[in-house]
């Protein structure tokens, strides 16, 4: 009996420790194919979803805390989808819009050269407020960093930082033409330069901590512009090759890992990665319920051993 219980504990423990992150997926905008293409966390193609009609080309995609997705067209249309990519509604922002992001409260931020300010909406498109950086109006994207809003300023070659009240509190120098931005798991900010294809990582204090040239990967130089970057929960970077049919995958040290591609993806642009890419760990962390169950199984095993010893 003791052997059976110990075996049961070991089997159940291994199952709990090895549980995979099944929810991690990569969502890529197909600018030319006018769709959203979905890959799983190993890079396997899952499906593509055609976008509804709207104003202009699809540019960017963002994920809300409740699981909704928002797709931005450069003509100003915003498509809101649920977690299964079923369309909920479409509403309008301003034209020449390029970047869309959603903050921790579910408010939607839209940036672009069509306005000197970032426009903030609720999930259904009701205008809330404007965020206006000082010294430049050719905006591209936003990201929330420790309660502040960072805005990539294309013409000023800088990142503007606005505090929670919307006051411009400083700049981060970003050489050339900063475009898309995403948060790293440690709170740093990844920024891509449209023209020279450099990918840079900044600390929340605004210090450049690392950079690499996306043209140096095995797929060669990127044709035309580099606009967006996706970051997974483990720090893996996804860089769309805008006028091609593929996405380059790098680790956070700038080492090329793989390439995502599929016939349904044409002109990849905005990208979002949910969860973490697969990785091998000696002892992965247990969730709360897993830890409690494992502790219970071990206690049961100990009780069985003690009872058997007394009987003998």
Q: b/e map of 122-136 (b: 16 or more CB within 10 Å)?
A: ebebeeeeebbbeeb
**Intervals of the chain under pLDDT 70:** 1-23, 136, 276-312
Superfamily (CATH) of domain 22-283: YVTN repeat-like/Quinoprotein amine dehydrogenase (2.130.10.10)
Query: Tell me: the pLDDT tens digits for 7-27?
Result: 433 333 333 333 334 467 999
Q: What is the pLDDT of residue 302?
A: 53
Question: Does the model's pTM come out above 0.85?
Answer: no
Question: In a 10 Å sphere around its CB, with 0-12 CB exposed, 13-18 middle and 19+ buried, how is residue 105 labelled?
Answer: exposed
SS3 227: coil
Question: Which pLDDT value is given to residue 298?
Answer: 47
**pLDDT tens track for 185-213:** 999 999 999 989 999 999 999 999 999 99
Find the length of the chain.
312
C-alpha distances (whole Å) from 105 to each of 32, 120, 141, 173, 190 are: 32, 12, 18, 28, 22
Domain map of the chain by residue range?
1-19+288-312, 22-283
pLDDT, residue 296, reads 53
**Rounded to 5 degrees, what angle do the CA atoms 204, 209, 210 make?**
135
Determine the pLDDT at residue 174. 76
Nearest to 217, CA basis, from 174, 260, 176: 260
- DSSP annotation of 291: H
Task: Give the chain's largest Cα–Cα span.
Answer: 84
> What distance in Å separates the CA atoms of residue 232 and residue 240, rounded to the nearest whole number?
14
Percentage helix, strand, coil for the chain under 3-state DSSP, each rounded to 5: 15, 40, 45
166, two tokens: 């919307």
The pLDDT score that the predictor gives to residue 23 is 60
């Amino acid at each position: 009996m003791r052997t059976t219980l110990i075996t049961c504990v070991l089997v159940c423990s291994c199952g709990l420790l090895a549980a995979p992150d099944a929810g991690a997926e990569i969502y890529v905008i197909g600018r030319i194919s006018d769709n959203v293409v979905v890959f799983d966390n190993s890079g396997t193609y899952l499906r593509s979803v055609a976008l509804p009609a709207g104003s202009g080309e699809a540019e960017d995609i963002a994920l809300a805390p409740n699981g909704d997705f928002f797709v931005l067209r450069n003509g100003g249309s915003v498509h809101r989808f649920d977690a299964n990519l079923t369309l909920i509604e479409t509403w309008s922002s301003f034209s020449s819009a390029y970047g869309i992001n959603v903050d921790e409260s579910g408010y939607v931020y839209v940036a672009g050269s069509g306005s000197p300010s970032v426009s903030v909406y609720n999930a259904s498109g009701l205008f809330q407020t404007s965020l206006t950086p000082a010294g430049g109006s050719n905006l591209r994207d936003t990201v929330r960093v420790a309660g502040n809003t960072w805005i990539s300023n294309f013409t000023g070659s800088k990142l503007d930082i606005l505090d929670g009240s919307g006051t411009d509190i400083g700049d981060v120098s970003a050489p050339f033409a900063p475009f898309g931005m995403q948060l790293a798991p440690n709170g740093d900010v990844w920024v891509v330069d449209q023209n020279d294809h450099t990918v840079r990582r900044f600390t929340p204090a605004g210090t450049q901590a690392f950079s690499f040239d996306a043209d140096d990967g095995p797929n060669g130089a990127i044709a035309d512009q580099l606009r967006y970057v996706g970051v997974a929960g483990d720090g893996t970077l996804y860089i769309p090759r805008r006028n091609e049919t593929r996405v380059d995958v790098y680790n956070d040290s700038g080492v090329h890992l793989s390439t995502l591609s599929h016939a349904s993806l044409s002109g990849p642009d905005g990208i979002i990665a949910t969860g973490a890419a697969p990785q091998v760990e000696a002892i992965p962390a247990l969730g709360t319920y897993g830890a409690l169950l494992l502790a219970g199984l071990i206690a049961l095993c100990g009780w069985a051993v003690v009872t058997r010893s007394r009987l003998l």
